[in-house]
């Protein structure tokens, strides 16, 4: 995973998502996460997912990258779902919850330089939690990059062989152990560098206001709609469930409209 691609997307000037104020996007993210936590209806979650994709496309985010990033938690959720879900529908709900939450977070990450994401968060959480969130964010992407290099090295050095799966597994496990040790070292170095450069547990940024108030309104309204739908379907499940298929339709229509109207070239 290329952290430069994330920074590049976050610092571009185009698209309404990048024009919205960071605080609006964080509020919208909280609302969407609340919707995802509230809903146990796979079609409602599908509507949220499609809506997020439509927003990302309309906001000129690199959607291939966004969906790839959102797929990582889906893999872990799938393992959990297979191990614990009593039926396929519950498994689908577990996976959709992970994907929607991740995609909402990725949408914010790809449209907002990370200091502007963490500065407001660190104002409201204890210092150690703020530190942990910030360092985890940075270390995650650096480690994903390192993990890619590690896999390449294992392959180049003949560590991965299709006809010797046990040996491949053993080597990969040992390489992962090395990566774990590296991650501890990396986290320490990263923290040291930030401390040397003046960081003391609270990231300070210059004010970053909205460049387009309509963008803020759109982001918040969409998130409120997602939460309202999730709450409505949760409270009135028995009555509304037969009509769940209606929920994704507006999102799909929005996606179709965006897909038709946007320029052909993918910004990724």
Partner 1 sequence: MTETVKHAHDDVVRVSCIRHSYEDGTSVHLCGLDFVARRGLRTALLGPNGSGKTTMLFHVLGLLRSREGSVRVFGVDPATEWASIRQRVGVVLQNVDEQLISPTVADDVAFSPRQYGLPAEEVDRRVTAALELLGITELADRVPHNLSGGEKRKVALAGALVMEPELLVLDEPFEGLDPAARQGLVELIERLARERGTSVVMTTHDIDAVHELADYAYVLKPGGEIALEGTPAEVFARAEDIARSNIRPPILAELFAQLQKLDPGAPEAEFSVHEAAEALIAWKASR
| Residues contributing to the site for partner 1 (CB under 8 A) | 2-4, 7-8, 10-11, 113-115, 138, 186, 189-190, 192-200, 203-207
User: Which 8-state DSSP code applies to residue 244?
Assistant: G
CB of 118 to partner 1, least distance (A): 12
Distance of CA 24 to CAs 110, 129, 134, Å? 15, 22, 20
Q: How far is the CB of 149 from partner 1 (least distance, A)?
A: 13
Q: Hey, what are 211's tokens? A: 């460049």
How far is Cα of residue 19 from the mean position of the Cα atoms in its chain?
Answer: 19
Question: Among 3, 20, 18, which residue's Cα sits nearest to residue 220?
Answer: 20
Please, which residue, 95 or 119, has the CB nearer to partner 1? 119
| Distance (Å, whole) CA 32 – CA 227 | 6
| Helical axes 165-196 vs 127-156, angle rounded to 10° | 140
Minimum CB separation of residue 4 from partner 1 in Å reads 3
Rank residues 62 and 159 by Cβ distance to partner 1 and give the closer one. 62
* Cβ count within 10 A of residue 259: 12
* Residue number with CB closer to partner 1 (181 or 260): 181
Q: Which CB sits closer to partner 1, 84 or 149?
A: 149
* Shortest separation between residue 163's beta carbon and partner 1, angstroms: 36
Non-local CB neighbours of 47 within 8 Å, separated by 6+ positions: 226, 229, 247, 248, 250, 251
Q: Give me the count of residues in the chain.
A: 268
Query: Measured from the CB of residue 113, what is the shortest distance to partner 1 in angstroms?
Result: 4
Least CB distance from residue 87 to partner 1, whole Å? 44
Nearer to partner 1, 93 or 109 (CB): 109
* Closer residue to partner 1 (CB): 61 or 230: 61
Residue 145: burial class (beta carbons within 10 Å; 0-12, 13-18, 19+): middle
- Which of 83, 196 has the CB closer to partner 1? 196
Please, where are the H alpha helices in the chain? 3-11, 16-19, 22-38, 42-58, 63-84, 88-111, 114-124, 127-156, 165-196, 213-235, 237-240, 248-261
Q: Which is nearer to partner 1, 97 or 138 (CB)?
A: 138
Comparing CA positions, the residue from 36, 40, 33 lying closest to residue 92 is 40
Q: How far is the CB of 222 from partner 1 (least distance, A)?
A: 25
Shortest Cβ 203–partner 1 spacing (Å):
8
């Amino acid at each position: 995973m290329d952290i430069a691609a994330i920074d590049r997307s976050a610092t571009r000037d185009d698209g309404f998502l990048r024009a919205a104020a960071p605080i609006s996007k964080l509020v919208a993210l909280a609302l969407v996460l609340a919707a995802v936590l509230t809903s146990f209806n796979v079609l409602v979650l599908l509507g949220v997912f499609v809506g997020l994709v439509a927003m990302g496309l309309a906001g000129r985010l690199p959607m291939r990258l966004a969906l790839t990033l959102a797929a990582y938690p889906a893999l872990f959720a799938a393992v959990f779902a297979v191990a614990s879900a009593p039926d396929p529908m519950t498994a689908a709900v577990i996976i959709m919850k992970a994907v929607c939450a991740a995609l909402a977070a990725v949408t914010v990450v790809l449209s907002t330089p990370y200091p502007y994401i963490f500065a407001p968060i660190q104002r409201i959480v204890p210092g150690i939690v703020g530190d942990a969130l910030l360092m985890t964010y940075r270390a995650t992407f650096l480690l994903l990059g390192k993990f890619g290099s590690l896999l390449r090295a294992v392959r180049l050095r003949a560590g991965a062989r299709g006809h010797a799966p046990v040996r491949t597994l053993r080597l990969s496990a040992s390489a992962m152990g090395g990566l774990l040790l590296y991650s501890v070292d990396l986290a320490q170095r990263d923290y040291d560098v930030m401390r040397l450069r003046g960081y003391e547990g609270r990231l300070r940024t210059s004010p970053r206001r909205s460049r387009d108030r309509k963008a803020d309104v759109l982001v918040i309204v969409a998130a409120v709609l997602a939460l309202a739908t999730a709450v409505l379907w949760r409270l009135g499940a028995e009555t509304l469930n037969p009509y769940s298929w209606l929920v994704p339709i507006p999102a799909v229509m929005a996606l179709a409209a965006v897909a038709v109207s946007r320029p052909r070239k993918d910004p990724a």
